[in-house]
Amino acid sequence: MKKNIFKEEFNWLSRHLPEALIQTPGQGNYENVIQSIIQELQNNQEFANDLIEVNRLPIHVPEITRWESNEVSFESLFETLLEMYNSSEGSISMETLSALTEDLGREAFGMYLPMHYYFQSRKNPWGVYLFPEAIFQWAKNLYQVKGKSLGLSLRQVELAFTYAVFRHELFHHQVECFSTKQEVLNHKVNYNAYGDNVNGPCSKSEDWLEEALAEATVLNSKHVYHNTKIKAPIFRKLYEFDLKRMPAGYRDYHCRKFGGPEKAHKLFASQIAQCKINPIPAPATKMCTVSANEFSNSWKKVPIYMVNFKKPKSIKSPREIFNYN
């Protein structure tokens, strides 16, 4: 990729990034999510005794250094994306997008910034981020190489792919909620330890259960079905075709090594709770696995952002820039 050509533009954009973000109205904040997790636990007799002492927010000591390093990596991703869009003069080539997908997997089209690191960030607030230019370019290709032969229209493939990316990112939020539930029960912050000891070391391999299970969840998602109205077997064929083009972890959605997604879910839950790749086997109940249910844990609590690179936001006067700074 070309370096430094659009440095000035990038610098401007990075200073004004919130202007490029459009927040979906009516979204809640992270306190609502934490409250609903505590509520869920309080409603469950199994854990009632553990909770007598808990009446404050569990995430009280954010790790600021870690939080900063996450901000930096997120900005460098924006830089790469921006360079990509600019170097191809407005439309992304499939070649560049494939290279990016090889590197980032599904995160080339969207991203989840966790509450634990970004709850205080004004520049990159926590939530699901979607990149429409990348989504639509990829969907166009997916339509040509597979969707058309399945009898789908371009519009249907675009819609399906958009919801698939959203559902994938929503799973990362559900993982964080599950980890937060453990934090409430254990009275300690362990989402970071899970990231350092499990998710990081497993990345880019077939053992990367967070990505594999995110994709397994997309394949069986009622949320995707309700919003796209594409028959489940057709959507499955389309998305499985796409998954074969994804890097390790993502393309291992079948979790064969672990005996299928259901068994993998149980192992994954113990990995999160114990922050170990090889945890002590524990019985997994409904409360003790990541809830991938789209209805009990409302997705409407998650802020959704659209990151639009090609369309600078128009402003009425320089005062808006002045007021922003």
Task: Report CA-CA distances (Å) from 281 to 39, 61, 125, 233, 266.
Answer: 27, 30, 36, 34, 9
Say if residues 165 and 110 touch (Cβ distance below 8 Å).
yes
Query: Site for Zn ion (CB under 5 A): how many residues?
Result: 3
Site for Zn ion in 203-242 (CB under 5 A): 211, 214
Closest to Zn ion by CB, 156 or 251: 251
Q: Is 190 helix (H, G, I), strand (E, B) or coil?
A: coil
Shortest distance (Å) from residue 61 CB to Zn ion: 26
* CB closer to Zn ion, 106 vs 266: 106
CB of 265 to Zn ion, least distance (A): 16
Cα atoms found within 13 Å of the Cα of residue 293, Cβ hemisphere only: 9
Contact 64, 72 (CB under 8 A): no
Size of the chain in residues: 325
Q: How far is the CB of 39 from Zn ion (least distance, A)?
A: 27
CB of 300 to Zn ion, least distance (A): 21
Which is nearer to Zn ion, 58 or 127 (by Cβ)?
127
CA proximity to 316, closest of 23, 19, 90, 82: 19
Per-position x/- string for 86-125, each x denoting binding to Zn ion as judged by CB under 5 A, each - no binding:
--------------------x-------------------
Residue 184: closest CA among 27, 36, 303: 36
For Zn ion, which is the closer residue by CB, 100 or 214? 214
Minimum distance from residue 186 beta carbon to Zn ion (Å): 25
List residues near Zn ion by CB under 5 A: 106, 211, 214
